[in-house]
Structure 1
Amino acid sequence: MKRIVLAVPLVLAACALPGPRRAVPEATAVVPPPAWRSALPATGGAVRAGWWQAFGDPALTALVERALANNVDIGIAVARIEEARASEALARAQLSPQIGGTVPETQGQSISPFGTLTRSAAVQPALSLSYDLDLFGRLRQATRAARAQLLATEAAADTVRLATAATAAQGYVTLRALDHRLAIAQATLAARSDALRIARRRFEAGYTSRLEYRQAQAEYAVAAQLVPAAELAITRAENALSLLTGDAPRAIARGLPLDRLAAPPIPDGLPADLLRRRPDLFQAEQTLVATDRALDSQRAAMLPNLSLTGAAGLVLSTALAQPEVIFSAGASVLAPIFDGGRLRAQERAATARRDQAAFAYRRTALTAFREVEDALAGVRRTGEQAQALADQETAARGALQNATNRYRAGYSSYIEQLDAQRTLLNAELSLAQARADRLTSYVALYQAMGGGWTSADVAAVTR
């Protein structure tokens, strides 16, 4: 059995139980994996080859690419990225000096001791500047937290893209399995129709009893109800895929039949480090980084803060012979003395959020290992099941031919032929489901590995 090699440590410091303090990677130390992504242009169209092309069906490829281009959830995720970018820009702006300007205008009049009335007008343009020295890194840590949160949001969008591609591929495989199920039902109905016609003739000629004729009618009805049930399932599957691709309910284009979809090869011993390509793992890692930086910023808020302020301007007045230059400069120190425990409570809340992110990171990593193992087991076991069912289907078809010949020659009863027909129908339906399950297991493996792999990826990680 092909199994993943777990020799490479994946979960870093976050895998340990949260303690008072942990070292976490820098927000810029980890690069999100772009290898699985499709480079979608703004107007749609052709995209770069993706893992879904390994199944060898152009219709499947076109469906997945349409879903990546038009899916509503992906549009929402992209909008969230823009919001996170704005939040990062806002946090970064806090590190820059704040400059403002005013141009107040005043008018007035005064009476001199000699009774002379004097009117005057003055304009005082001025610039003001304030700058937070950020001695203890409160603003810098907040900026780093915003940056890490942006990376986590981008990874969340990648997770949505990967899930959309996998859902589209699995939906297409399910649709082709339903098409095959419908074909089986229609072929069975045609065979049962011939059997019913023969049973009616034999009954009317007096060669058989009414019991055999009624049994043939019942078996025909069983096959007849399979057709509308399959057609209903196909309609629902097409509607679900239409929603995934951002379209109104419509017919979905088909390509290769179910039994001709390629089963991609799986290299022996997939390295565990390939799991770092998973966008959800990168998202959990960056969320941990963001909460840790936010904790540092909250702790720095409990320390004194030094701000520099200054102002400069001119006084232009009709009462003055020459303009007057005014300016001021100063500094202020703001330190918390008594706040009723507000800052301490905020620090405890930030610590709790950091610990939650650490546990979430560990859970995400363990879930990744489980999903890969489940997918690998699914690929192998469903393949074995499909092979056994294929052998059963071949044997059942031969048994039905023998039973039919014996019945028509008068050597056996009609019930023997009915049993052979039921066995063949169940074998055909089970084989179609097993083949679909095997292909969906491949899709699940691609998704679990963060969007597939190449021989170059495996060789690079192995080295």
Structure 2
Amino acid sequence: MKRRLVVLAAPLLLAACAMAPQPAPPSSVTVPVAWRTTLPGANASVERDWWRAFGDPALDALVQQAQANNGDLKVARARLQEYQARIRVADSARLPALNLSLAPTRARAIGPQGTPIESTSLVGAVQASYELDLFGRVANTVEAARFEALSQEAALEAAALAVAANTASGYLNLLGLDAQLALAKATLASRERSYNLARHQFEVGYSSRLEMSQAEAELHATAGTVPQLERQVAQQEQALNLLLGASPGAIARGTDLLSLREPTPGAGLPSELLRRRPDIAQAEQAIAAADASLAVARDALLPSIRLTASLGAGAGGIKQLLRSPTELWSIGGSVLAPLFDAGRLRAQAEIAGTVRDRAIYGYESVVRTAFAETENALASIDGLQRQLLEAEARRAAAGEVLRVAHNRYTNGYASYLEELDAQRTAFSADLAALQLRTSLLAAHVDLYRALGGGWTPAP
């Protein structure tokens, strides 16, 4: 009786020696009450297919192609399948394990009289084993695998959002380069007309060689911007093809830059951002997985109890095994408890604790980054909208200056230097307005990305 009590009390005594809980570090994240910059008249909801707000069917098709063929997304989907399979691996420990064994043996031995004796034996058995999860090690292992899979699912959504945003930004940049290239070609045609006029006036004696040479220099300067922009267009198309998982080639365009709609997404409350962004959900699930892994590491210090059973048959040949075998069976159990491992298991538990703490610090960093990206996108949209208004006013004024200067030069009331300066100012104003509009549309993409792109976590 005493021996039985000792056997039963040993696991409890070992459990009492388990490692004390490791508390998580206190949170240092503070959620702001409101954003510093607000957009007037904006809707607080974000559609999942937010890129449709720009009103360009070609952009819609590019994003869909990127979501289907992007190489990084394929890797993320394969990784998610791996972690879902890991859940099934961990959950298999909840059920008994069954194994079938068949051991045929042919042996020769020396008999009592010194003569060799040959014998044949066949032993077949079905073995079952089951671990009693008294301290929750198996359950915590399953929980850790489940949270890791949820983290990978959120990582896939974050990667999909990044691919959609990069595709949209690349396409908007491509349309901006197209608009700049069209402006450069139109300006080049105007410079050719100015050069022809300056050359004609020089030939008839109404102007000097200096004015003709200045017109020629400006013509070549403008002509040099055309191949530069064409090179940038080709490079941007190739960058988009990489996102699309496609071979090098031209990218189909839809609406031009000036015809794109400017969307009006709203930022909502800062606290809502914590449930909108998939990368925050990924970091949150990583904390839960690390905490469950810490519990598994601590449970490794506790005893494990395993039950085993075996049922089989043995005979000296196949006929005997099929007709009248000898029945074999065994039932048993084992208690495995760590007594001395030079602190290895406790060190592993401490390592798991530091992994959990790093996951918490990483979560806080992701949250702060989300707040900063949203604030930057809101400030960019507000500032670029006001800057674009001034740029459009400057462009209109510069166009009027060029018109007047051209008339004065044509009628002989001013030198070509006056028109040349007006041409440069008008080209610079037009180019700045196009670049600002491209930046403004790209800032809307950044805001959609910062707000999570309409993503909602699965229940």
TM, length-normalised to structure 1 = 0.84
Give the superposition deviation at 1:354.
Answer: 0.4
Distance 1:185 1:214 in 2: 21
Distance change in 2, residues 1:330/1:22 (3 Å):
farther
1:347 aligns with 2:346: no
266-275 or 395-404, larger mean C-alpha shift: 266-275
- Aligned-partner Cα distance in 2 for 1:190–1:112: 112
Contact 1:178–1:234, Cα closer than 8 Å, also in 2? yes
Whether the aligned pair in 2 keeps the contact of 1:279 and 1:450 (CA below 8 Å) is yes
Q: List alignment gaps of at least 5 residues for structure 2.
A: 1-21, 28-45
Equivalent in 8, 18, 23 of residue 20 of structure 1: 23
Please state how far the C-alpha of 1:326 moved relative to its aligned partner. Answer: 2.3
CA distance in structure 1 between the partners assigned to 2:417 and 2:241 by the alignment: 45
Q: Which residue of 1 aligns with 2:310?
A: 311
1:120 to partner: Cα distance: 5.6
> Partner of 1:276 in structure 2?
275
Give identity over the alignment, percent.
Answer: 45
Letter in 1 for 2:409: Y
In the other structure, the counterpart of 1:435 is 437
Matching of residues 7-406 of structure 1 within 5 Å? 20-21=23-24, 50-107=49-106, 121-267=120-266, 269-270=268-269, 272-317=271-316, 323-406=325-408
Counterpart check, 1:444 vs 2:446? yes
Write the distance in 2 (CA, Å) between the matches of 1:173 and 1:229: 18
Deviations 1:105-161 (CA, angstroms, capped at 9, x unpaired): 345689998999987644322111111112211121111111111111111111111
Partner secondary structure for residue 256 of structure 1 = coil
Q: Please say which of residues 258-267 and 228-237 is displaced more in the overlay.
A: 258-267
Instruction: Give per-residue Cα distances to partners, 1:216-272, cap 9 Å, x unaligned.
Output: 111111110111011000000111111111111111111111111001123474563
Residues matched between the structures, number: 414
Instruction: Give the C-alpha shift of residue 324 in structure 1.
Output: 2.7
SS in 2 for 1:253: coil
Deviation, 1:357, is 0.2
Q: Aligned partners of 2:411, 2:270: CA distance in 1, in Å?
A: 62
Counterpart CA distance in 2 for 1:36 and 1:331 is 58
Q: C-alpha distance in 2, partners of 1:188/1:372?
A: 38
Deviations 1:180-204 (A, max 9, x none): 0001100110111000001011111
Letter in 1 for 2:222: A
- The letter for the 2-side match of 1:202 is Q
CA contact (8 A) 1:94 1:139 kept: yes
Residues of 2 paired with 1:286 and 1:51: CA distance? 26
- Shift in CA distance, 110/268, structure 1 to aligned 2, threshold 3 Å: closer
Distance 2:171 2:325 in 1: 80
Kindly provide the CA deviation profile for residues 348-380 of structure 1, in whole angstroms up to 9, marking residues without a partner as x. 110110000000011111111111111111111
Which residue pairs with 1:7 in the alignment?
none
Indicate the larger mover: 62-71 or 293-302: 62-71
Runs of at least 5 residues in structure 1 that lack an aligned partner in the other structure = 1-18, 25-34, 38-49, 458-463
User: Separation in 1 of the partners of 2:407 and 2:151?
Assistant: 67
For residues 71-118 of structure 1, the C-alpha deviation after alignment (integer angstroms, 9 at most, x for no partner) is 111111111112212222222222221111212234568999899998
Contact 1:275 1:449 in 2 (8 A): no
1:325 is displaced (CA, Å) by 2.2
Distance 1:265 1:20 in 2: 44
Cα deviation digits, residues 150-178 of structure 1 (max 9, x gap): 11111111111111110110111000000
Instruction: Say whether the 8 Å CA contact 1:292–1:354 is kept in structure 2.
Output: yes
Root mean square deviation of aligned Cα: 2.5
- Describe the SS at the equivalent of 2:309: strand
Q: Matches of 1:234 and 1:104 in 2, distance apart?
A: 71
CA separation in 2, counterparts of 1:397 and 1:113? 120
Q: d(CA) in 1 for partners of 2:372 and 2:113? A: 97
The amino acid across from 1:128 in the alignment is Q
Partner Cα distance (1:406, 1:100) in 2: 100
Counterpart CA distance in 2 for 1:103 and 1:193 is 93
Give, in whole Å, the separation in 2 of the partners of 1:119 and 1:130.
35
Taking the aligned partners of 2:343 and 2:111, their CA distance within structure 1 comes to 59
3-state SS in 1 of match to 2:221: helix
SS in 2 for 1:266: coil
Change beyond 3 A, Cα 1:105–1:197: same
Cα pair distance change 1:136/1:215, threshold 3 Å: same
Contact 1:275-1:450 within 8 A present in 2 as well:
no
The alignment partner of 1:20 has SS state of: coil
| SS of residue matched to 1:128 | strand
Amino acid of the residue matched to residue 165 of structure 1? Answer: A
**Matched residue of 1:296: which SS?**
helix
Letter in 2 for 1:187: A
Write the distance in 2 (CA, Å) between the matches of 1:388 and 1:182.
23
The residue aligned with 1:408 is 410
SS of residue matched to 2:94 = coil
Give yes or no for contact 1:36–1:450 (8 Å, CA) kept in 2.
Answer: no
- Separation in 1, partners of 2:416, 2:159: 56
